[in-house]
Amino acid sequence: MKPIYPCLWHNDTAEEAAALYTKTFPNSRVTKTTYYGKGAPRPEGSVMTIHMELNGQQFMILNGGPWESYTGAISLVAPCDTQEEIDRVWDSLTSDGGQAVQCGWLKDKYGVSWQVVPSMFDKWMTGDPERSARAMQALWSMVKLDIAKIQAAYDGQ
């Protein structure tokens, strides 16, 4: 069986979204574009799907029409190694109509929910329960996450 990958439903913004996502994440590229044919439910010749890799993970974006929309019930997690990386990814995904939410969550301008988190998050959450609780308390007070402040809370400083 081949790896499972997500399909992101858009109205007519697949190309624009693919450009944003491949610009935001390193090692990313569009791998294939398909088009609607004659008799399709969308205009003939318009983009139907864009297949892409985001930092090695396969995705597909479908220009499916206005019948579906996103909720925060599912999100894409972007683990970042440095504060500079968090800042860059956050700024890219919230630019031009994106929306900061809370605790590292945001919605991009298409309504897709993202969690932009430090890659050491799992370490903070699976360590000593008291240290983990301090890290979570710090995290809950933030919108965009600050690695140094969460690490200081985890360390009891």
DSSP 8-class letter at 131: H
Domain span including residue 28? 1-68
Let me know whether 104 and 79 are in one domain.
Answer: yes
pLDDT by residue (tens digit) across 46-74?
Answer: 999 999 999 999 999 999 998 888 988 99
What is the chain's Cα-based Rg? 18
The number of distinct structural domains making up the chain is: 2
Which among 68, 94, 117 is the end of a domain?
68
CATH number for the domain spanning 11: value is 3.30.720.100
Its pTM stands at 0.92
- Same domain? For 82 and 124 the reply is yes
The pLDDT tens digits for 22-48 are 999 999 999 999 999 999 999 999 999
- Write the single-letter amino acid at 129: P
- CATH number of the domain within which 78 lies: 3.10.180.10
85 and 156 fall within a common domain: yes
SS3 41: coil
- What is the sign, positive or negative, of the torsion defined by CA atoms of 140, 54, 59, 108? positive
